[in-house]
Amino acid sequence: MRHLHFIKYTKLWFTLSIATLLIGVGAMIYNKVTFGSALEYGIDFTGGSYMEFQFDDIAKVDTNSLYEAIDAAYENSVSQITVTEENTYIVQAKDMTEEQLQAVQASIGQKLGKFETLRFTTIGPKVGGTLKTKAMTALFVAMLAIVLYISFAFRKVPKRVNPWKFGLCAVIALAHDVFTVVGIFALLRLEINTFFITALLTVIGFSVHDTIVVFDRIRENLKKQTRDETFADVADASLNQTLARSINTSLSTLFPLIALLVWGAESIKTFVFALVIGIFIGTYSSIFIASPLLTLWQERARIR
C-alpha cells in the first residue's frame, strides 16, 4: 500500500479548519446582529412552554394551520412545531401562563376541531439559565479530564516528548470539533438544546478515542525511531498504520446514524444530525489536526 504523507500538508489541513471555524463565527455574528442571539437556543436553555396535542381529525391539521391557530391567541409565541410518528404535534413556545394556555386551546379547538392536550410543561428562564451553565460546565470538565487522563496515560512516552503535549493537542482537536459543530448549527439556525449537548459529549468521547489510538501508535513507534527519522516521519507512519481502522470505525458508526437521520423520528433528527456531523469532523481532526499539531509543536521545540 502506498505510504500517504499527512504531515507534509499540515498547512492545508489547518487552513481548511480555520476557514470552517471562521464561517461558523461569521454565522454567529450575523445571527446576533440579525436575530439578537448567536445561537438558536431551545426552551431548555431560554425557558418556555412545551405542549403536545393529539387531534381527532388529523386530516384538518398541519404545522401551518396549528401555528396560525396558536398565533391568533398568543402572537409570535411559537418557536418550533414537530410532528411525531404517532401523528401528535409537539409545540415549543414562549413561557405561557395557564390563562394563555386556555386561550390557545380555545383557538385551536375553534379552528381545528376536537383535540387533547397530552403534555404541557413550562421551564422558567432561571431554570433554563441554570441548565445552560451546567451544560457548559459539563463540556469544560470533560475536556479537562481528558487532558489529565491522556497526560497520565502517556507518561511513559520517551523523555524527549512531553506527555502534556499529547493531552493538550487532543483537547485542541476536541475544541475544534465542538466549535465546528456549533458553527454549523449556527449557520443552519438549528436548535441548541440538552440533546445537542448530549450529542457533543458523545462526539468528544468518540473523537478522543480515535485520537488516542493514533497517539498510542506514535508512542510505540517513537521507541523504534532511528536517527534518520524525524518526528514527522514517525507521525506519518503511525497515521498510515491506523488510517484503515479510523475510517472503518467511523463508517460503521455513520451508516446507522444516517439511516436514523433519513428514516428516523422527526423529534430526534437534530440530535442525530449533530452526531453525524460531529463524528465526521472528529475523524477528520484525529487524523488531520491532532497529530499534525503534535508534530508541529515537537519539531519547533526540537529546532529551538
Q: Three-state SS string across 68-89, please?
A: HHHHHHCCCCEEEEEECCCCEE
Please state, rounded to an integer, the average pLDDT across all residues of the chain.
87
Residue 30: per-residue pLDDT: 95
Report the range of poorest mean pLDDT among 35-39, 258-262, 272-276, 287-291: 35-39
Q: Residue 126: is its pLDDT beyond 70?
A: no
Report the range of poorest mean pLDDT among 55-69, 152-166, 278-292: 152-166
* CA dist., res. 232 & res. 3, Å (int): 13
Q: Phi-psi region for residue 113, left (φ > 0), alpha (ψ -120 to 50) or beta? A: left
Question: Bigger pLDDT: 22 or 76?
Answer: 22
When pLDDT is cut at 50, 70 and 90, the band that residue 19 belongs to is very high
Question: Bigger pLDDT: 162 or 247?
Answer: 247
- According to CATH, the topology of domain 7-38+127-303 is Multidrug efflux transporter AcrB transmembrane fold (1.20.1640)
- According to CATH, the topology of domain 48-123 is Alpha-Beta Plaits (3.30.70)
Q: State the DSSP code for 4.
A: -
Residue 203: partners with Cβ closer than 8 Å, 6 or more residues away: 177, 178, 181, 274, 275, 278, 279, 281, 282
Residue 2: per-residue pLDDT: 59
pLDDT digits (tens, 9 = 90+) for 222-233: 888 888 888 899
Residue 18: per-residue pLDDT: 96
Residue 303: per-residue pLDDT: 53
Every domain of the chain with CATH number 1.20.1640.10 lies at: 7-38+127-303
The residue assigned the cell 483537547 is 171
When pLDDT is cut at 50, 70 and 90, the band that residue 177 belongs to is very high
Mean pLDDT of 241-248: 90
Of the chain, the percentage scoring pLDDT greater than 90 comes to 36
Q: State the DSSP code for 1.
A: -
CB 19: neighbour CB atoms within 10 A? 10
Residue 285: per-residue pLDDT: 94
Residue 159: per-residue pLDDT: 64
Closest CA to 79 of 93, 60, 97: 93
